[in-house]
Amino acid sequence: TGFSNIDDDFYEELEEILIMADLGINTTAAIITDLKAKVKENKIKEPKECKELLIQSIMDQMDVSETAYEFENRKSIVLLIGVNGVGKTTSVGKLAGQLKDKGKKVIVAAADTFRAAAIEQLTEWSNRAGVDIIAQQEGSDPAAVIYDAVTAAKARNADVLICDTAGRLHNKKNLMEELKKIDRVITREFPDAYRETLVVLDGTTGQNALAQAKQFNEVAEITGIILTKLDGTAKGGIAIAIQSELGVPVKYIGIGEHIDDLQKFNAKDFVNALFN
């Protein structure tokens, strides 16, 4: 942008960019305050340099550790959770396809027994990915499906069991209790399994995603985020607020509806997209 000085107008424009990217006012204010201090400390004069500093510091914050994908190399159980319609079932299918392509033995579990045709939907995805599915009837107990799936994963010596769950709003107590029960069944039935619990967030979501991450983290310790629908015009900046508050990293992004449209998170691309 055409600024020649680092002045209030310049900072205001940065602020606008961050808010429009859904970082939220608190995170935005904290980032700008931190940036101003760094600019002073490093005696930075050029707006371009200042912006690069901003980009770099968000990038550092969002960087994913080397061990983030350790579950791929272990006997693991991956649980996908989140509110309604964010892309859980689709992401289960995509992830299953990717791991299968890497030569892993994958099983998926249809633990959404509530939503109309959720089981049929996951069945279609398991066909696309070419992996086994464990399912029961619509209306059955999701914890019982998980029990079956864990048993099958052990018996068939699967590398990764990926569990789909029903969409649930984080403010619904009984549904969150159900999730706790699912989590407990896994821990009890397969204590040695490497656990990966991913909260799926719709990249179009605003400030509420922070409340979602917090509440889901309380019932099942989340180890990462799948940020979906980044193929649209939304930037998914709330993930930055979540990373600052909860320290939970984005591990995957969804960029479409096809089986290949799931990518490992790249902090550089993500942060650059905020400013484009």
Partner 1 sequence: MAFDSLSEKLQNVFKNLRGKGRLSEADVTTALKEVKMALLEADVNFKVVKNFIKTVQERAVGQDVMSSLTPGQMVIKIVNEEMVNLMGSETTEIAFKAGNDITVILMCGLQGAGKTTTTAKLAGKFKSKGKKPLLVACDIYRPAAIEQLKINGDKQGVPVFSMGDKHKPVNIAKAAIEHAVKNNHNVVILDTAGRLHIDEDMMNELIEIKENIEVFQTILVVDAMTGQDAVNVSEMFNNKIGIDGVIITKLDGDTRGGAALSIRAVTGKPILYAGMGEKLTDLEQFYPDRMASRILGM
Q: Hey, what amino acid is at 101? A: D
Local structure of 88: helix, strand or coil: helix
β-pairing, 160-165 vs 76-81, is: parallel
207 vs 266 by CB, closer to partner 1:
207
In the numeric block, which tokens belong to residue 3? Answer: 């600024």
Contact residues for K ion, defined by CB under 5 A: 85, 202
Question: Of 69-98, which residues contact partner 1 (CB under 8 A)?
Answer: 83-87
Question: Of 35-74, which residues contact ligand GTP (CB under 6 A)?
Answer: none
* Burial of residue 96 (number of CB atoms within 10 Å: 0-12, 13-18, 19+): buried
183 vs 202 by CB, closer to K ion:
202
> Assign residue 266 a region: left if phi > 0, alpha if psi is -120 to 50, beta otherwise?
beta
Contact status: 257 vs ligand GTP (CB under 6 A): yes
Residue 255's binding partner out of Mg ion, ligand GTP, partner 1, none, with CB under 5 to 8 Å set by partner kind: ligand GTP
Q: Hey, what amino acid is at 274? A: L
d(CA 5, CA 64): 34
108 vs 160 by CB, closer to Mg ion:
108
As a whole number of angstroms, the longest Cα–Cα distance in the chain is: 66
153 vs 239 by CB, closer to partner 1:
239
CA distances from 118 to 85, 95, 124, 218 (A): 11, 17, 10, 25
Contact status: 254 vs ligand GTP (CB under 6 A): yes
Site string for ligand GTP, 182-211 (x = CB under 6 A): ------------------x-----------
Site string for Mg ion, 59-98 (x = CB under 5 A): -----------------------------xx---------
For the CB of residue 20, give the shortest distance to partner 1 in the complex, in Å.
5
Residue 244's binding partner out of partner 1, Mg ion, K ion, none, with CB under 5 to 8 Å set by partner kind: none
Residue 251's binding partner out of partner 1, K ion, Mg ion, none, with CB under 5 to 8 Å set by partner kind: none
For the CB of residue 128, give the shortest distance to partner 1 in the complex, in Å.
8
CA 265 remoteness from chain centre: 9
d(CA 3, CA 13): 10
Residue 202's binding partner out of ligand GTP, K ion, Mg ion, none, with CB under 5 to 8 Å set by partner kind: K ion
d(CA 128, CA 92): 11
Report the 10 Å Cβ neighbour count for 132: 18
Residues at the interface with ligand GTP (CB under 6 A):
82, 84-90, 112, 115, 118, 167, 169, 200, 228-229, 231, 254-257, 261
